[in-house]
Structure 1
Amino acid sequence: MAAVMRMPELAANTPEATLVEWLVAEGASVAAGDAIASAETAKATVDIEAEIGGHILRLVATPGSDVAVGAPLAVIGAEGESLAGLDLGADGPDGPATGAAPSLQAPGPAPDVPGIPARPEPTNAPGRQIGGRIFASPLARKLVRDEGLDLSELRGTGPGGRIVRRDVTAAVAKRAAAAPAAPPVRPTAPASTEPTATGHDIPHTRLRRAIASRLTESKQTAPHFYVRASARVDALLALREQINEHATSRISVNDLVVMAVAKAHQAMPRMNVIWTPDSVRQFDSVDIAVAVATADGLVTPVVRSVETMNVSALATATRDFAARARDSKLRPDELEGGSITVTNLGMYGTEDFAAIINPPQSSILAVGAARESVVVEESQCVVARTMRVTLSVDHRPIDGAVAAQWMQEFVALLESPLRIVT
């Protein structure tokens, strides 16, 4: 019997998600657990899996639309099964999906079934819209913004008349070919003496809105204070080279820094806490978020129980997180938890910076580049490689003395790095 698949709750306290694209066509055969669509929440883009096996009888929700949790997404059943009698109404807590999805098959007549939105006919007309929305893939929309094109003027050749990458590429090539023949533009009015600025608006993504909201809340509600230090890292860098001579998984400086953070948290458990309305919550395991820069913004996947891992296992985990973060494949649960984040701008040559705490965490460590500098050693000036670090701390659960002792332990670990890996 045909079953209606509805939008699942992809993250805690997330009442809706944006359907990014369908990964299957109507009529396709799927097994339970197969990815059939991708959806974007405020934190990540997530694959939606089929709940049962069968054939995709109808794609209900529209790519690009906001779909409430519990609203219809698709109908799955036996090949050729009738859809009559299915209820695709607002069974979800916040109502139905925004609109019907375009067919991903060749156009053809579709029966009128009560309660099921009619299947729109594919077209490649410029500016194709349904309900005021132009259908385009996420990549095509990004390319349109980058090239300064008008989405409504493009001709869609993708499934159901959707604008895809090749359409944008063709438009860019056409513009470039026509540019030399374009007549010069002559002003029709005296030039203004007022300064002018040109530009274009880049619409906010859910991720960018979430970052803005979360960090604004952090600065407004968490009283930040900062602890800074410089560590000599010659021994740390030498140890990394030695490990990488024999390691199957290449180790980064940041991997050793994250391991040192875990060791420091074990030595100073009063740092492994977060603030809640009723208590200070202290954790038994050390879960550390690692900041990853993506094209859409910064994401912070959390490595669990770092204190139980060796440095090779940590390197493998962080590399996997980074790859999936850039492909928007992180699960929502991988972005939650932890008491501290490590953010490293050393690869960009940044020597010193301070970061904003990622709530509900209580601290964030900003790591700069290792640089040669002059230091005093036994009354003599010597050249050494040093690294500047800044710890931003929420003063509600953590006092200054605790943060200072933590920093003292952390720097000692960096300067005696064998303690990090043993």
Structure 2
Amino acid sequence: MAEVINMPKMSDTMTEGVIVSWLKQVGDDVKPGDILAEVETDKATMELENFVKGTLLHIGIPAGGSVPVDALIAIVGKKGEDISALLGGAKPATSAEDKPAVEDKKEDSEKPDAEKNTAPPEKAVDKTNDKIKAEPSTDNKKDAAPVAESTEKETQQTTGDQTQPEEHDDRLKASPLAKSIAKDKGINLAQVSGSGDNGRIVKKDIENFVPAKEMGSAKTPAKETALPQIVAEESFKEVPVSQMRKAIARRLSESKNTAPHFYLTMSINMDKIVAARKQMNEYSDVKISVNDIIIKAVATALRKNPNVNSSWLGDKIRYNNHIHVGVAVAIEDGLIVPVVKFADNKSISHISAEVKQLAEKAKNKKLQPNEFEGNTFTISNLGMFGIDSFTAIINPPDACILAVGASKETVIAENGEMKIAQVMKVTLSCDHRVVDGAMGSTFLQTLKDLLENPVKMLV
């Protein structure tokens, strides 16, 4: 009898899956252990394993399509077997290409009639290709010409006045000295206002005289220049939301909206950690990073502060005896949190090797569910990007997340003297339903003590 293969639930938060590719086709013989397809979940791209011997009789969803958990995706049975009864109750799969069209129609139907019938302004939109062009203002061109013309006329008039021969200088009331100075400077006495008796022009009038051309040039407005014509068009692209991005949006929105966050920030002197790391790498086969040491320090601090290693469950609070530290890893289309389990029981070199392996699998979307589930505390480190400090959103079901910034040279006071030290800022985001300020502060004090005195991690 033919067997129906449904979309399996591959993680605790998975609600639907996308078929990335089919590795077997209809008519192919399959046996238990064969990989039928690659499935994208909200956490990773995983292989869909077959558990039935027979022939692949039906593929219910094409590559690129998505279906909810437990929906039919394939049928395996004997070659030539009638599967019409099995297909009768199956719901049609949703293709990735079909979704935008449905959404577009829905959005269009929800628009009011007035909006549907309203055409965009003709000046702003080119109806042939819906491209918006920025047209230069025509008002500037109309205003610019008269200004230029009037300026030119004023200049000509002023120039003409100054170049007129001084035919009537003798008839003007002016002192001989004023006339002599005016002649030497080429000043037309007809343009000079006298300050002496009965308007007589004297020496100081000539000395204080400012030609009309200079006065005019100071008052004449600058010629307006039309801006060059710039033709541009708005552009954008829209891409379907991946399963991972949907999960990030859903989980972190839920966390931020339901968990009352509060934040505690502390500065830590990292000089001894930098020196210890240098010594460790001289003896370790694995290159140890500062982040590896921070993971070990966090795990040790959690062992000493179990109240922080907890979860809110609605009607009860869970205090975890085991310590599973999640480490946020950035990948191409989002981020994922691989988990270092029982981190307090592992050496720093062990943690370093495991983190590198998990990060590589995460970037290749090859993590298995048990490798990204079960975290009791999470670390998000943006120090490698030069970020001084930041606040992180709590990663459910944890009660806390630690945001780690960069280590930077900072002037500090030590034993009454000023010195330069490598200082790192960390910020603890806490769920106030579970962790109070004193609990979070005590945890940070313990973490600071361990990082500033790394030998204590070995005790």
Q: What TM-score, normalized by structure 2, do the two folds share?
A: 0.67
Q: Which of the residues 397, 401, 414 maps onto 1:377?
A: 414
Q: Which of the residues 91, 97, 102 maps onto 1:96?
A: 91
CA RMSD of aligned residues (A): 2.9
| 1:218-367 matches, cutoff 5 A | 218-367=255-404
The DSSP-based 3-state class of the residue aligned with 1:328 is coil
Per-residue displacement from partner, 1:25-59 (whole Å, max 9, x unpaired)? 44545442232212222333222111134554443
Contact 2:20 2:37 in 1 (8 A): yes
| Deviation (angstroms), 1:234 | 1.5
Per-residue displacement from partner, 1:176-232 (whole Å, max 9, x unpaired)? xxxxxxxxx9x9988276997432223322221221222222222111111111111
| Larger deviation, residues 267-276 vs 206-215 | 206-215
The yes-or-no answer on 1:51 pairing with 2:46 is: no
Distance 1:298 1:54 in 2: 39
| Larger deviation, residues 198-207 vs 6-15 | 6-15
| Alignment partner, residue 82 of structure 1 | 80
Per-residue displacement from partner, 1:335-373 (whole Å, max 9, x unpaired)? 333232101011111111111111221111011111111
Please say which structure displays the higher CA radius of gyration: 2
Per-residue displacement from partner, 1:296-354 (whole Å, max 9, x unpaired)? 10111222111121122212221122111111122334333323210101111111111
Distance 1:31 1:375 in 2: 67
Contact 1:68 1:97 in 2 (8 A): no
Q: Which runs of 5+ in 1 are unaligned?
A: 101-128, 135-184
Distance 1:262 1:131 in 2: 47
Residues 133 and 39 of structure 1: is their aligned pair in 2 closer, same or farther, counting only changes over 3 Å?
A: farther
Contact 2:383 2:404 in 1 (8 A): yes
Residues 17 and 414 of structure 1: is their aligned pair in 2 closer, same or farther, counting only changes over 3 Å?
A: same
Residues 214 and 72 of structure 1: is their aligned pair in 2 closer, same or farther, counting only changes over 3 Å?
A: closer
Distance 1:250 1:130 in 2: 46
| Alignment partner, residue 158 of structure 1 | none
| 1:9-158 matches, cutoff 5 A | 9-12=9-12, 14-77=14-77, 81-85=79-83, 87-89=85-87, 95-98=90-93
Contact 1:271 1:403 in 2 (8 A): yes
Q: Which runs of 5+ in 2 are unaligned?
A: 102-128, 138-229
Q: Which of the residues 176, 191, 208 maps onto 2:135?
A: 191
Contact 1:311 1:421 in 2 (8 A): no
| 1:172-191 matches, cutoff 5 A | 191=135
Residues 338 and 35 of structure 1: is their aligned pair in 2 closer, same or farther, counting only changes over 3 Å?
A: same
Distance 1:387 1:288 in 2: 20
| Larger deviation, residues 319-328 vs 399-408 | 319-328
Contact 1:353 1:368 in 2 (8 A): yes
Distance 1:46 1:273 in 2: 30
Distance 2:60 2:134 in 1: 54
Task: Choose between structure 1 and 2: higher helix proportion.
Answer: 2
Aligned-partner residue type, residue 330 of structure 2: A
The DSSP-based 3-state class of the residue aligned with 1:9 is coil
| Alignment partner, residue 117 of structure 2 | none
Distance 1:282 1:6 in 2: 36
Per-residue displacement from partner, 1:117-153 (whole Å, max 9, x unpaired)? xxxxxxxxxxxx986899xxxxxxxxxxxxxxxxxxx
The DSSP-based 3-state class of the residue aligned with 1:203 is coil
Aligned-partner residue type, residue 38 of structure 2: S
Distance 1:82 1:310 in 2: 58
Per-residue displacement from partner, 1:220-260 (whole Å, max 9, x unpaired)? 21111111111111211221122222222222111110111
Contact 2:377 2:400 in 1 (8 A): yes
Contact 1:256 1:420 in 2 (8 A): no
| Deviation (angstroms), 1:60 | 3.2
The yes-or-no answer on 1:411 pairing with 2:448 is: yes
| Deviation (angstroms), 1:374 | 1.1
The DSSP-based 3-state class of the residue aligned with 2:17 is strand
State the identity as a percent: 37
Distance 2:439 2:410 in 1: 29
Aligned-partner residue type, residue 40 of structure 2: E
Aligned-partner residue type, residue 98 of structure 1: A
| Deviation (angstroms), 1:24 | 3.0
Aligned-partner residue type, residue 45 of structure 1: T
Distance 1:6 1:272 in 2: 37
